[in-house]
Amino acid sequence: MKPDVAILQSKRKLRIRFIIPGFPTFNIYSTIAKYTTALGPLLVASTAAQKPGWDVEIIDENNFHGHAPKGQYGHPDHNYLQETRPADVVAFYGGLSSTTPRLYELAAFYDAQKVITIAGGQHFFGETIAESLNQHLDYLILGEGEQTICELMDAFANGESTDQIKGLAYQDENKVVITEERPPLSVDEIAMLPLPDFSLLRNAHMSLYPVSWERGCGMNCEFCTVKSKVRCPPPEYLASQIISLHERFGAKIFFIVDDLFGQKRELALEFCQKIKEYQDLIKVKFHFTVQIRLDKAHDQELLVAMRAANVQVLAIGYESPIPEELESMNKCLRPEDMIKNTDLYHKAGFLVHGMFIFGYPALPGQEFLMSAKERGNTFIKFIRKAKIDTVQILLPVPLPGTELTTRLENQSRIFDRKHIGWEYYDGNFQLFEPDAPLSAFETQNEAKDLMKRFYRWTSILSIGGSILTFPMLIFSVFNMKKGWPRWYLKWRNAIWRFIGWRLFRQWQNNRNLDMFVEKLKNVTH
């Protein structure tokens, strides 16, 4: 049943709490998550904060450093939060399928407190809508949420019906109701949104600030749900976020979360010039990480502008060095071209973070037989030949709403979520029956071994070697000019590989991995 919005009428000032659910257990993202946050809920909350008569706050369970009592995995005690600052409405971030069980757990708690519960994010698509509405959620926001959340808040405050609000799903008399689809925000509408307000985060420690500019993606990858038309406001929209964050919080390290930086080339050049001029004016250096396509390596003008703006790290979706897998993903790439383009990025002075998917399923009728070990060797040879600085190697995830999920469901290959639930949908676990001759265990273990082959404890020896050779750099002017970049790269990568080894070792020792292996035995017989 729809909630009784009249329960809010006795309140003078209402409070809405946005919650980013914590990871179900330690994973390879847990450490960095303590110093950054998800941008999507922050954008929606910042818009909600413009509504008069409302108090808005954000709780990021992965980045909560307050004095509230902590529960399992360090998550804040929501009973304590509700006692000290009771919320009338809570809105959950459902952008990560792996945090869905925690989201449902919190929804049950707040529902028992007679609080209106809302959720939004990429997870809510198709069959997950009915499932989620049966988990103590009153409303689901489908699609971009800035306009929908404001209309919902108005309806709650005024005791009005929510039936005419676009982009909603709810239950009425045990039937799922989905209202008219809300079109994506236009470029002009995006440009008019308030700047993301990081002060809404309660008890968070921030050092890596996510910012955004473009929405949508021009690619058509089978495993991804982001396929809407690219909408890019003027460069001032992004530059204003960065300047404001630096002035308010002293922010210097930024991650531009857009899927592909530079999709709108002329606007990207203009942004780089603006942010370079600002850094020159205040005599400070920022550090930017962006996601970008490999083919942009040939655009020397863009690369020079990016380096001048202090873009330092490029996160690139290589996905796979195996042509057959690239074809299955609908990626128009060739491994030999990927290596050449990576070399161009390195020559331009960028550090490259490579993102890969191991064990991608072949298309129907595609003749492709390769063992897990052969695939692993192909991956590691490619990574070494391309000299990629850091890597992320994940397993394919059949996320709600993707073409990959539809294909695997039609083939009845996805493991029953009664046995292997949403908490494992983070890319670290094998979630479906792989192609022959692979087995689920082989695929799981080979992906794990690939990370172990890249991130090694012996990197600490390279760190020591770099420290010992540094004095020679100091006493040689020639080496300071020519050898410094090479020395720094070796030293920096050795540190990151050692950190990666520590994180991966901690994840391997996690009980959750052992539990998954036992469940995998049950579903694979």
pLDDT at 31: 84
Mean of pLDDT values over 489-506 = 74
Residue 51: is its pLDDT beyond 50?
A: yes
pLDDT higher than threshold 70 for residue 15? yes
> For 388, which DSSP code?
-
Return the sign of the alpha-carbon dihedral for residues 30, 34, 39, 44: positive
Q: Which pLDDT value is given to residue 483? A: 58
Q: How far is CA 4 from CA 8, 114, 160, 397, in A?
A: 9, 10, 10, 37
| Cβ atoms of 185 and 146 closer than 8 Å | yes
Q: Is it the case that residue 22 has pLDDT exceeding 60?
A: yes
Tell me the domains of the chain and their CATH numbers. 5-178 (3.40.50.280), 212-454 (3.20.20.70)
pLDDT of residue 524: 82
Nearest Cα residue to 244 out of 220, 209, 205, 201: 209
Tell me the pLDDT tens digit for each residue of 275-293.
999 999 999 999 999 999 9
Residue identified by tokens 């890596």 is 208
Mention every residue, 6+ apart, whose C-beta is less than 8 A from residue 475: none
Q: What local confidence, expressed as pLDDT, does residue 476 receive? A: 58
Kindly report the number of other CB atoms within 10 A of residue 307's CB atom: 15
Angle between helices 146-158 and 39-48 (to 10 degrees): 40
Which residues neighbour 509 within 8 Å (Cβ) at sequence distance 6 or greater?
A: none
- DSSP tag of 76: B
Please give the helix or strand (H or E) that residue 255 lies within, else none.
strand 253-256
In this model, does residue 501 exceed pLDDT 80? no
Total count of residues recorded for the chain: 525
The DSSP H or E segment spanning 112 is helix 100-112
Per residue in 303-336, pLDDT (tens digit) is: 999 999 999 999 999 999 999 999 999 888 899 9
Check residues 39 and 525 and name the one with the higher pLDDT.
39
pLDDT of residue 484 exceeding 70: no
Separation between Cα atoms, residue 280 and residue 477, nearest integer Å: 26
Structure confidence by residue, pLDDT tens digits, 160-176? 999 999 999 999 988 99
Percent of the chain scoring above 70 in pLDDT: 91
Give the model confidence (pLDDT) of 145-154 as tens digits: 999 999 999 9
Is the pLDDT confidence value at 105 over 80? yes
Q: Where does the pLDDT of residue 226 fall: very low under 50, low under 70, confident under 90, or very high at 90 and above?
A: confident
Average pLDDT in the chain: 90
Residue 505's pLDDT band (cuts 50, 70, 90): confident
Per the model's pLDDT, the better-predicted residue between 75 and 246 turns out to be 246
Cis peptide before 437 (omega within 30 of 0): yes
As a whole-number percent, the residues of the chain with pLDDT over 90 amount to 72
What does the alpha-carbon distance between residue 449 and residue 441 come to, in Å, rounded to a whole number? 12
Among 16, 196, 48, residue whose Cα is nearest residue 118? 16
- Coil, helix or strand for 170? strand
Instruction: Read off the pLDDT band of 431 (50, 70, 90).
Output: very high
Residue 163 phi, psi dihedral angles, 5° rounding: -65, -30
User: At 385, which helix (H) or strand (E)?
Assistant: helix 372-386
Q: How far is CA 416 from CA 110, 133, 442, 517, 523, in A?
A: 28, 20, 19, 15, 8
pLDDT of residue 494: 75
- Tell me which H or E stretch contains 302: helix 300-308
The pLDDT value recorded for residue 455 is 86
Quote the pLDDT of residue 235: 95
In the numeric block, which tokens belong to residue 180?
């008219």
- Sign of the dihedral defined by the CA atoms of residues 293, 295, 301, 303, in that order: positive
| Structural contact between residues 18 and 110, judged by C-beta atoms closer than 8 angstroms | no
If 0-12 CB within 10 Å is exposed, 13-18 middle and 19+ buried, where does residue 275 land? buried
Task: Give the model's confidence band at 135: pLDDT under 50 very low, under 70 low, under 90 confident, else very high.
Answer: very high
Alpha-carbon distance of 9 to 378, in angstroms, equals 63
Q: In this structure, what are the phi and psi dihedrals at residue 398, rounded to the nearest 5 degrees?
A: -80, 80
pLDDT computed for residue 1 by the predictor:
41
CB atoms within 10 A of CB 364: 9
> How much is the average pLDDT of 193-198?
96
CB 434 within 8 A of CB 381: no
More confident residue, 291 or 465: 291
CA end-to-end distance (rounded Å), the chain = 41
Instruction: Please report which confidence band the pLDDT of residue 491 belongs to, taking 50, 70 and 90 as the band edges.
Output: low
> How many angstroms separate the CA atoms of 494 and 101, rounded?
36
Three-class SS state of 196: coil
For residue 355, pLDDT over 80 is answered with yes
Confidence of residue 127 (pLDDT cuts 50, 70, 90): confident
For the segment 53-76, the average pLDDT, to the nearest whole number, is 88
Q: Is the pLDDT of residue 65 over 80?
A: yes
The first and second tokens of residue 493, run together, are 């990568």
DSSP string, 429-445: S--BPPPTT--HHHHHH
Cα–Cα dist 338/228, whole Å: 26
- Whole-number Cα distances in Å, 73 to 62, 208, 418: 9, 22, 23
